[in-house]
Amino acid sequence: MVEENFTDIEQMVEDWLIKHKIPYQSQVSLRGGAFELGGSKIDFIIEGNICLRIQGSYWHSGVEKIGRDAVQRELLESDGWIIVDLWEDIIKDPARFDQAMRLAIQGEEMPH
C-alpha cells in the first residue's frame, strides 16, 4: 500500500507496519485536521487509539513548531489517544528503528 504523498520516513514506517502485519489507518484527520486550531493530521493510527506521529526535523523543529506539536499532543491525549512520536534520526538509524517500532506499537516512545 504505497501512498504517493508519503515522505521517505513515513514510507519506511508504513513498510515496517506492512511487513509485521500491523493493521493501520494513514493520514487521519483528528479534531478538524490540519486546518483547525489544535487539529492535526495523524500519520498512522494503530490498535484503535495509538497515534504514530512521524517527526521529521524540517517540519517539527523550532520553538513555534515544537509548541504546536505539544498543544496537539495535549489535546489528543485529553481525547484518550496515545501519542507516539517517531523521530527522523531514529527512523533512519537501522540500529534503533526496529526497536523504536516495537515500542511504538505498544504505545511507548524511544527516547529522542
Query: What pLDDT is recorded for position 25?
Result: 94
Q: What is the pTM of this model?
A: 0.83
- Strands across the sheet with 24-30, in order? 24-30, 40-46, 50-55, 82-87
Residue 76 forms part of a structural domain: yes
**21 found inside a domain:** yes
Residue 46 included in any domain:
yes
| Residue 48: inside a domain | yes
Q: Per the domain annotation, does 52 fall within a domain?
A: yes
Task: Please indicate, yes or no, if residue 112 is contained in any of the structural domains.
Answer: no
pLDDT reported for residue 2: 47
CA nearest 61: which of 87, 90, 83, 82? 87
Q: Residue 109: inside a domain, yes or no?
A: no
Q: What pLDDT does 30 receive? A: 81
Task: Quote the number of domains for the chain.
Answer: 1
Render the burial of 8-27: b for 16+ CB within 10 Å, e for the rest. ebbebbbebbeeeebebebe
User: pLDDT tens, position by position, for the chain (112 residues)?
Assistant: 444 588 899 999 999 999 999 999 998 888 665 656 556 789 999 988 999 999 887 555 656 666 777 888 898 999 999 999 999 999 999 999 999 999 999 999 988 7
Query: What CATH number does residue 44 fall under?
Result: 3.40.960.10
* Contact (CB, 8 A) for 40 and 28: no
Q: Can you give the pLDDT at residue 26?
A: 94
The whole domain housing 29 covers 8-104
What is residue 31's DSSP assignment? T
